[in-house]
Structure 1
Amino acid sequence: MDATEFNKIVERLKFRNQEHVADSIGVTLRTVNGYANGGTIPEPVARLLRLMERFKVDPDTLR
């Protein structure tokens, strides 16, 4: 997963902002900012987001 795919999935899942992404997937805001701006996205994070999209998981249910 690259930053473009990450940002598209985040948008399609209707996360409110990067802080919401961070809280929902258990990483720091700085980490999410890195993902969104081209940093390496670990495979488990990529897989989680793809599965969330595939199964239409509401991000608020992850808290």
Structure 2
Amino acid sequence: MRPPFRFPEDLITLQRAWQQAYAELAQAPAEAAMTTLRHRLIALPGTLCTHPHWTTPAARWSSSP
């Protein structure tokens, strides 16, 4: 039996930041200037997808049941 897998904390923090920015943008009034949040929503997924974790062999097993 494999030990439980934990994603790196910085990767978890990036995911939470992305979700937070998305939630803030969704809650903002339509007339609000939300350029900063939109820029974060563009940048964060790229940072998540290029995180060094995804290049490790352990990443292959992180989504397995």
Q: TM-score, normalised by structure 2?
A: 0.25
Larger of the two Rg values belongs to structure: 2
Q: Which has the higher contact order (CA 8 A, sep 6+)?
A: 1
Q: TM-score, normalised by structure 1?
A: 0.25
